[in-house]
Amino acid sequence: MQLWTLWQPYRDALATASDLMALLVMMAEQRVGLRPGRIEPRALKRRPRNFPLLMEPRALARQDVRLHGHPKKAK
């Protein structure tokens, strides 16, 4: 990102394809340094849903619940 922002004022003078390619190569060669304290847990935040997806129009699903009641919870 720093290379890109430094290049922006000179982009009109260095507008050839080879200059742009050289810039992209320099950007690709840069390595990200050590970033202490950047540790993330390997866990999912969202829990599985307790209810199935609604796979029919809501009006039909409501009518089915009125006639037959809610389905029993699967364990």
Confidence bin at 3 (pLDDT 50/70/90): confident
Whether the CB-CB separation of 27 and 4 falls below 8 Å is answered with: yes
Tens-place pLDDT, residues 6-64: 777 777 776 677 877 887 888 888 777 787 877 777 777 777 777 788 899 999 999 99
DSSP 7-71: HGGGTTTT-SHHHHHHHHHHHHH------TT-------SSPPPSS----S-HHHHHHHHHHH-PP
As to burial, measured by CB atoms within 10 angstroms (0-12 exposed, 13-18 middle, 19+ buried), residue 56 is exposed
pTM: 0.35
The tally of CA atoms less than 13 A away on the side-chain side of residue 9 is: 2
